[in-house]
Amino acid sequence: MNLKKDIKDAIHDLKGYLEYQRSLGVIDIPFSNEIAMTMEDIRKRIAGCQRCRLYTGRTNIVLGAGKEDADLLFVGEAPGRDEDIQGRPFVGKAGELLTRIIEAINLKREDVYITNIIKCRPPQNRNPEPDEIYACEPFLVEQIQVIKPKIICALGTFAARALLRTDKKISELRGRFYSYHNIKLMPTYHPAYLLRNPAEKRDVWKDIQAIAIEVPKV
Ligand code: URA
Ligand code: URA
């Protein structure tokens, strides 16, 4: 058990660093922790966002929707046309399928929270670019801090790769739980992919059943 020593060392290092900063004239550290956050705070902060190029083409920022303290969080890829117009996630064809997937485990959309890796629609629904994901990810991280879900379901390649910091294929990643900052994370196929490849629904059914077992009963 070197934990105690590690903590002692860390405090020692931090003390040295702070003393060094003070010697440079730094007398106050604005702790960003005082962002006693709510989803409303995140919504206010993301309003008018220009952190990436996607702001030029968007109609609405699609922050997310659902229960703000949900046990189960779904993370998709990016808003599409319908989502951009309505300002809500997963309201088009893929969204209808996602609703059925949620209902398959006896939950309703209102019982879960649904969001995306990026909050603005890419032109012609092209794939998100790495710098767009990088720019937008802090908002997702804050949402996860507010929601404190027990389970995250990453829908499709982009969500799974971004959250798990991997470039493996979704077909390799899906079907088991990973740990995302101590939250159980299950990658599965994206509903839009299922619309084109209905045979893969069986696998998603398996994944969602595994999730259902882990979601605390309300
Ligand atoms: N596809 C996504 O990944 N997200 C949406 O919100 C809609 C479609
Ligand atoms: N490709 C994707 O982007 N998502 C899937 O779920 C499957 C293939």
Neighbours of 82 (CB within 10 A): 16
Ligand nearest the Cα of residue 117 is 1
Distance of CA 209 to the CA centre of its chain: 21
Does the beta carbon of 187 sit less than 6 angstroms from any atom of ligand 2?
no
Tell whether ligand 2 has an atom less than 6 A from the beta carbon of residue 190: yes
Give domain limits for the chain: 3-214
Phi, psi for residue 34 in degrees, rounded to 5 = -70, 0
Please give the pLDDT value at position 34: 53
Tens-digit pLDDT profile for residues 77-129: 999 999 999 999 999 999 999 999 999 999 999 999 999 999 999 999 999 99
The angle subtended at Cα 18 by Cα 15 and Cα 23, nearest 5°, is: 125
Judged by its nearest atom, the ligand closest to the C-alpha of residue 127 is: 2
Crossing angle of helices 130-147 and 156-164, rounded to 10°: 80
Q: How, if at all, do strands 72-76 and 151-155 pair?
A: parallel
Architecture of domain 3-214: 3-Layer(aba) Sandwich (3.40)
How do residues 156-183 score in pLDDT, each as one tens digit? 999 999 999 999 999 999 999 999 999 9
